[in-house]
A and B are shown apart, each in its own frame.
Chain A
Amino acid sequence: KAGVTQTPRYLIKTRGQQVTLSCSPISGHRSVSWYQQTPGQGLQFLFEYFSETQRNKGNFPGRFSGRQFSNSRSEMNVSTLELGDSALYLCASRPGSGQGGSAAQYFGPGTRLLVL
């Protein structure tokens, strides 16, 4: 099976702009989670989508939003970008319907966002 893919891989934006990142999960996986990774804060959970519905949400401001499509592909959007939003944004997928005996999430390579 193909792994999780994320586009674009690199992005440069300026403060105040908005950005949309895309994630295609592993085929058959219905749960997609998004994470922000920075040197200072580490890996932080943004939100999880399952069957087109946000199932869980981390502690991020409303500028961070997401959605999931019927084919399980997901997008996340960050509006009114701030310098502190510069980070590696990671998407992870898993089957989603219960743990199934494992908590494994499979990560994509991430989108590195630089806000100038």
Chain B
Amino acid sequence: GESVGLHLPTLSVQEGDNSIINCAYSNSASDYFIWYKQESGKGPQFIIDIRSNMDKRQGQRVTVLLNKTVKHLSLQIAATQPGDSAVYFCAETNNNDMRFGAGTRLTVKP
């Protein structure tokens, strides 16, 4: 079946380093791919999205890359800070529903 999944369940990085969180998807019909951040005790927070006809989009300290050839999505966080520690979810949507990956826990070491 079609699904959204993550390559790694946990990621630990040193403060100041760049982080890369990966996601694989299988639904070619999705219109948008989205990244969310969820901190403990809170709901997911929208970070950035990318439309299916794009391959790169940049935000503040974050970049999302979409490789449709291999159905891969990644989130790059520059100069990772302790406040970036959270669970990161990728999601895909075709305006009918939104399907989430399992999540990657990012831990930033001081």
Contacts and interface: CB of A to CB of B under 8 A. Distances in A.
A109 B43 contact: yes
A89 B3 CA distance: 21
Contacts of A103: 31-32, 34, 49, 93, 98
Contacts of B95: 99
Given A99-B95, A105-B98, A90 B42 contact: no
B58 interface: no
Interface residues of A, number: 22
Given A43-B89, A99-B32, A99-B95, A104 B102 contact: no
B interface, over-half SS: strand
Given A42-B100, A45-B98, A45-B99, A102 B49 contact: yes
A110 interface: yes
Contact of A90 (B41, B43, B91, B93): B43
Question: Which of B41, B43, B51, B91 has the most CB atoms of chain A within a 10 A radius of its CB?
Answer: B43
A109 B46 CA distance: 13
A25 interface: no
B45 interface: yes
Given A42-B102, A43-B89, A48 B44 contact: no
Nearest to B42: A109
13 contacts: A42-B103, A43-B44, A44-B100, A45-B97, A58-B97, A90-B43, A99-B95, A101-B51, A102-B49, A103-B49, A107-B36, A109-B41, A109-B43
Interface of B: 31-32, 34, 36, 41-46, 49, 51, 89, 91, 93, 95-103
